[in-house]
Structure 1
């Protein structure tokens, strides 16, 4: 069975042959450990596939991973101070409520929906504090801004659907380390309808919706499913294993983001125990579980080897 078919079976509780595994190296990690990572990739061909995807090439970096500044289609200025790491927004185009009313949606229709395409887009446009003030006031303008971003995203989704595979991938970090900044109720008021409008386009086209979202979001995971998400990629550390078991097991398919916050500091044995604990707690033979590994620049080589070996071992877990 090919990887995509197995992944869809896990996503739909259709008895996958193994637990799907995805491993991602941040470009800065590829730059720091080119030979070591290449050796690991070659050792586990079933996990990684084409080795060219794991060779650092500065010419292939996304604009926000390159040194310097770049301006996105909305007019947000992104500043990068270390090649291979993600930039952050240092200039926000919206300074006042009137700027929201004057804002024009971008004209490009290239089908691109970057990470942070909805909720984080509001923060990028306004800045965190200004956005939180507008949500606290429940102002007319914040709803207008959300509607403008949704309108643009719907245009982009319609373009992307023309060449989309069976699964469309979306990413937007809805939580902080210890909760949702605007609270679950305001999130349901402002953002649940927004995501539903966008994801309805995908579902009506017969595609699956996969959504990555960092932060503590277990309270709204059922809402994301109601909005059209087929599989959620939540963080272990921010949500807690007990919450994920209670909310998701047998009910919400997840691609579990293993504890990247422990990878730099744990021993190889602790990493294997972590993977084992997660699989034992969340596994069902019918599916609903995949495993995601993200390797940052601060993870030592022995721990990279440990987590890769652990997911390779436990992807065949059968209870």
Structure 2
């Protein structure tokens, strides 16, 4: 399909992508958002730490956001972007249905996916009985029996944090045997129980509510909430196709960008978890707004250059 170029193509319709679209549409830019409908937090019934929206369903937030974006004249296209090519001023994004979009600038806000440990029963609890972020779910777990499954060095930070919300914390998993003396002493001094056993299953009752975990020695631990550190995997296929530089972070290889989300590829920005693997929803939304203002300024400069060139050509 041949279409006139968009000012900005935004790939990813989560908080970051929609907030970028909102700012750009209000700046009277022609904006299209490509959304595959798979937000990272779709498994959670609520989100937190977002001023005026605390406790709202993540999916409800996106529904409200889409309505606002459409109200300013932007377009939202349901589909998956499978390839991206081109350069600043002439990017092409191809969707899985074959539609091709062309645009002057590109924002990638496709985020990441959480790769869970292969523990039976864990996936069924993800977003409810088993969660990752203490700031998102710590309050709801206050004073409950909390388990933290050790999966990596980042789990130490997780176990330390959740102790703020409950005195009943168990840190469990073979990686706990590698704790240095000071770290172990600090956790135990605050009352955290440390077990070296491997978790073999996550247990639930007949209604699907978390009840605890089974261990490799045949014992079980009764728990009310699990905190797990999944491996974050960047959805960065488009960015790699475009040749964006990568950097090493505590979360793994991620696309390098400046504080505004500008990447090494001219005309390409990232926002949300595509820029910051640890961004909460409100941070992702703010990153989208930040990238949008930088892109609009870039487009204004481009519009000015074009106007000057056209004026000179007419003389």
* Structure with a larger share of its residues in helix: 1
Scaled by the length of structure 2, the TM-score of the pair is 0.26
**TM-score calculated relative to the size of structure 1:** 0.26
Larger radius of gyration: 2
